[in-house]
Every structure is written in structure tokens, then in C-alpha cells.
Structure 1
Amino acid sequence: MTIMKRGILLFYLLFSSILSSQSKDEWGSWIMLYGDNEISKNLDIVTEFRLHHYEIFDVLDNQFYKIGLGYRITPEVSVGAGYVHHYSETRTSISTSENRPYEEICLKRKIKKLSISNRYRLEHRWINNDGVTDFINRMRYRLQVTHPLGANFYIKVFDEVFLNLEQTIFNQNRLHGGIGYTFSPDFKVELGYVKNHFNTHMDDILRIGILFKTHLRKKTNTL
């Protein structure tokens, strides 16, 4: 069996196992659109839009919008900062909105075909819960590993822990495993499973990601 056929089989088995659990009403879904928009050799505008559902593609949980800047200091080290707006609503119609500036640093390395990324992010959260606003800082650390499966398929695994800097320290932990397909260097699609662990409960989530890159910088003419 070729590597590509193995990737297709893994993609099918993952998707089938997720759908087989849908009738249990225990799965949620995340749909993500992520853009990396290059404006100079080392500077990017980062955009992200997400929809989270309590059930697969049904019963909206929250919406998430992000815009930021990323700067590559070296191929292995990058820094970034940006702003996130987040709106959510519980099943009992209690609404929460959040304004969240952030700063981050990302360290990358490669071991043969294995790509390893360590991301450290500091968030400043203004959370409005039915008219009452609270402020809290939060630290996030994500370890991510990707490995190619032939020319187009790849495996992506990550674990991210969220820690409050005030109040209760542990906020949540996200463990993800999935597969992606590279249509071109500027366009990818991913399918994965997320186990989201909170203090009081755990969620099983189908994650679908569409990732694209645009090149907005002016090209210099060469003679």
C-alpha cells in the first residue's frame, strides 16, 4: 500500500469514527479558517475565524475572530501580537463576549522530517458576562508536531495547556490528533479530533481547518 493510500485510509477511518459517534450527541465541532498574509519578507498579517458548535455542525456555541502581526526573527524564531474578539452563548442563552489582546513567541525546529513547534502566548482577557466585566491574564503553551505522509498528506498532533495567572490556575487543556492534505504550498485542509479538558468536564470535538497563505508584498522587478 502506497503512502498516499495509507493517508486516504487514515482520513476515512478518522472521519467515519467521528460520524459514528454523532448520534450520541456527545460530539461538538470546530470549523476554522486561518489566513497567513505575507506583507514583507519577514512580516505577516494573521487572520482567523472560527465557529464552535455544541453538536456536530449544530447548536452554535461561540464565534471567534482574530487579527494579528507575526514577525520572523529567524526561520526558527518568530514573535507576534494581535487581538481576538470572542462571543459565546450557553444552551440557556447566557451570553459572554471577550476582548483579548495577546503576545506570543514561537520556536521551531526540524528533526529529519519531523517539524516541532513550541508556542508561548500571553493573553489579556476582558470578559463581559451579561453586563459584568472581569479582567484576567492567561498563559498558554502549545507543543505541536507534524510529520509528512508522502507528498501531500501529513499528520498533526498538538497539546496545549491554558493557565490563569489569577484565580484558579488551571483553565483547560486541548489534545489534538489529525491529518491534513496539502493542495498547494498556499492551501491546506485538516481534519482532526480534539479532547478539550476543563476542571468540570471534557468535550469531544471534530476539528476542520482550512489554511491559506497570500502574498501581498510588492514584487521587485529584476533585469
Structure 2
Amino acid sequence: MTQITLVRNTFLKIVIIHLVYIGLPKNAVAQEDLRDATGTWLVIAGNLELREHWKVPTVGIVRYYNLAEQTEFGFFRTGITYAPNKKNKLTLGVAFLDTQPFDHFEFESLTTQFWLYEEYCRNQKLLGVKLAHRGRLEKRWITKPHTEIFNMRFRYRLQATYPVSKNLYIKVFDEPFFDFNQSKINQNRFYAGIGRKISPSIQMELGYMKNHVGKNNFDRIRMVFLFKAKLYKDKNSDMTSVD
């Protein structure tokens, strides 16, 4: 069995397991605490390329405590990106999210956040592997039902993408979060999955994410749809780091 065939078979197994799990009766998984349930992490991300060095990033995320049943939070961010070359890019942007806690009541106000962020990304290749470094400083205004908080944090993501074939690749990343208010790393995200280029402007990914938040940790099936749109013509660009 070739390496490409093995990866493709693994991809199909993950999809089948996911579909079977969704198809289970709700009472078959209702006994599991939401904190321990395998959740869903859906991402739609892309870039609108305005001209050679300028882009508008767009990322939308919907997360569920379990598989596409009970919403955890919704997230949207955008901004303006300056990329002087293919190795470096700088982004200034805004983001908004609302969070529904585990013990949320139907008519209770949700926790919302508004962000201003600065982000720097650098890409490189090492032994055939594409490495992407991303550092982001986030200024967050958090509104809870009975209080408001200003918070700053820094997050660094190291991502490795290995091309298995022309259209198939493996992606792994790890991203710790440093909270300035608590003066410690209070969150970490680890992801491993596979992706496929559907066309020069569309890619899809499927994988597993382990999300540590404080003393809690969560398992998530992460599904990603990546796209790009251009207002001008140039050579094909890579999309494996747009989210």
C-alpha cells in the first residue's frame, strides 16, 4: 500500500466515524457530560486579495460542545494584511465572538468579546516541510452578564504542512496562549489532520484538535473550508496558513 493510499484511507475512516457518530440517537450520547463530549469545530477562512501585496482576511468559526448539536461559541474576524513577499505578512484586524457557557439559561445574556489584534506570520521550508510561524497580540474587551473585563494575551502558533501529493497534505500545529492578566500560559491548542486541494482557490481539511483551557481539556473534530478570491491576476498562492 502506497503512502498516498494509506493517507486517503485514513481520511475516509475519519469521515465515516464522524458521520456514524452524528447519526447516533441523541439519547445514546446524552449521558456524557458536555465537558467530556467530542465536539465540533467548523472553520470557514479565506483571503480577498485586493492587489499584489494587500489582502482582506476573513475567518468564521462555529464550535459545538458535542457534534453539531449544542453551540459553544461563534467567532468572526477580519482586517487588512500587508504581504511584501511570500514569506512575511502583517495583519491588523478586529474580531467578535459570543460564548454560551455550559450552564447557560435560555434568556440569560451571553458573554461577548470584541478584539483589536496585530498579527505577524513568517513562512519557510525545511526538508520539504512548510513551516508557518504566527504570532498574534490580542486586546480583548470582554462583556459578561454582570461585569466587563479588558484583557491582553499573546499567542504563538508553529504549523507544519507536509505535501503527500500534488493535492493532498498533512497539517500539524501547536499554539500556546499567554495571558498577561494572569501572567501565565492558560490555553493550548494542538491539531493534526489532513487536507485536500479541491481547486486552485478551494481547499478542505479534516482533523482532530485537543484544546486545553486552564484545568479543562476538550476534544474537537475540526473541519475547515479554505478559499481565496482575487481582484487581480497572479500566480497560484498557498492557502494552508490562512486560518
After TM superposition, the score normalised by the length of structure 2 is 0.84
2:113 corresponds in structure 1 to 98
Alignment partner of 2:51: what SS?
coil
1:20 CA displacement: 6.9
1:196 aligns with 2:184: no
1:131 CA displacement: 4.2
1:172 corresponds in structure 2 to 187
Q: Distance in 2 between matches of 1:192 and 1:174?
A: 13
2:15 corresponds in structure 1 to 15
1:170 CA displacement: 2.1
Q: Distance in 1 between matches of 2:111 and 2:59?
A: 19
1:89 aligns with 2:100: yes
Structure 1 alignment gaps of length 5 or more: none
1:3 CA displacement: 4.3
1:49 aligns with 2:64: no
1:77 corresponds in structure 2 to 88
1:117 corresponds in structure 2 to 132
Deviations along 1:67-121, one digit per CA (max 9) or x if unpaired, are 1111112221111111110001113226200001100111110124210011010
Q: Give the residue type in structure 1 aligned to 2:172.
A: V
1:205 corresponds in structure 2 to 220
Q: Is the 8 A contact 1:29 1:56 kept in 2?
A: yes
Alignment partner of 2:166: what SS?
coil
1:33 corresponds in structure 2 to 44
- The two structures, once aligned, show a CA RMSD in angstroms of 1.9
User: Does 75-84 or 24-33 show the bigger shift?
Assistant: 24-33
1:129 corresponds in structure 2 to 144
Q: Distance in 2 between matches of 1:28 and 1:40?
A: 38
Evaluate the alpha carbon distance shift between residue 55 and residue 66 of structure 1 in structure 2; reply closer, same or farther with a 3 A threshold. Answer: same
Q: Is the 8 A contact 1:181 1:189 kept in 2?
A: yes
Alignment partner of 1:39: what SS?
strand
Alignment partner of 1:73: what SS?
coil
2:198 corresponds in structure 1 to 183
Q: Is the 8 A contact 1:126 1:135 kept in 2?
A: yes
Structure 2 alignment gaps of length 5 or more: 23-27, 235-243
1:67 corresponds in structure 2 to 78
Percent identity, please.
32
After TM superposition, the score normalised by the length of structure 1 is 0.91
1:214 CA displacement: 0.3
Structure with greater strand percent: 1
Correspondences of 1:143-158 after superposition (within 5 Å): 143-158=158-173
Alignment partner of 2:84: what SS?
strand
1:46 CA displacement: 0.3
Q: Is the 8 A contact 1:54 1:60 kept in 2?
A: yes
Q: Give the residue type in structure 1 aligned to 2:56.
A: I
Q: Distance in 1 between matches of 2:65 and 2:127?
A: 39
1:16 CA displacement: 4.5
Q: Give the residue type in structure 1 aligned to 2:64.
A: H
1:44 CA displacement: 0.6
Count of matched residue pairs: 219
Q: Give the residue type in structure 2 aligned to 1:210.
A: F
Alignment partner of 1:74: what SS?
coil
